[in-house]
Amino acid sequence: MAEYSHHGWVYFNDSFYYISAWGNSWQDSREDCLQRGADLVIINSKEEQEFMRQFKKHVWIGLTDRETEGVWEWVDGTPLTTSYWDANEPNSHEGIDEDCGEIKLHYDDENNWNDVSCTVQNIWICEKKFTLTQ
């Protein structure tokens, strides 16, 4: 699939993606996306997971279980069906409340998601659906 970019946004499979230049908490990252008319990225295909890996970045994704511990939801309210958690994740490591989803640094693995505290400062990826009419 061809990728086009425009003012920092990259187009792939019916969405534009924006990668931030600095780190922020999950909530502040999400608010930045909302202000851009987008939201944190929702990964709902294997192709999109592969595409995310190409950024080779440690980033927030639009996934959280902050409403109900252990029930992971995307920012659009859809439940998590297909997931790409790293081995032994999500784990709320050492009893820390880890309610937000990130792509870990070892993006070489197909399964590279981790749950981490939402207050960690990560860069983030926004996604805006944009279907080009035919």
- Binding partner selected for residue 120 from ligand 2F8, Ca ion, none, CB under the kind-specific 5 to 8 Å limit: ligand 2F8
In angstroms, rounded to a whole number, what is the distance separating the alpha carbons of residues 48 and 15?
A: 10
Residues forming the site for ligand 2F8 (CB under 6 A): 89, 91, 93, 98, 114-116, 120
Min dist CB 70 to Ca ion, Å, is 13
Q: Rule CB under 5 A: is residue 102 a binding residue for Ca ion? A: no
Please report how many Cα atoms fall inside a 13 Å half-sphere around the Cα of residue 81, on the Cβ side.
5
In angstroms, rounded to a whole number, what is the distance separating the alpha carbons of residues 53 and 19?
A: 13
Q: Rule CB under 5 A: is residue 91 a binding residue for Ca ion? A: yes
First CA to last CA across the chain, in angstroms?
Answer: 16
Which stretch in 18-26, 30-38, 77-85, 115-123 sits in contact with Ca ion by CB under 5 A?
115-123
* Residue whose Cβ sits closest to Ca ion: 115
Q: Is the peptide bond before 90 cis (omega within 30 degrees of 0)?
A: yes
Footprint on this chain of Ca ion (rule: CB under 5 A): 91, 93, 98, 114-115
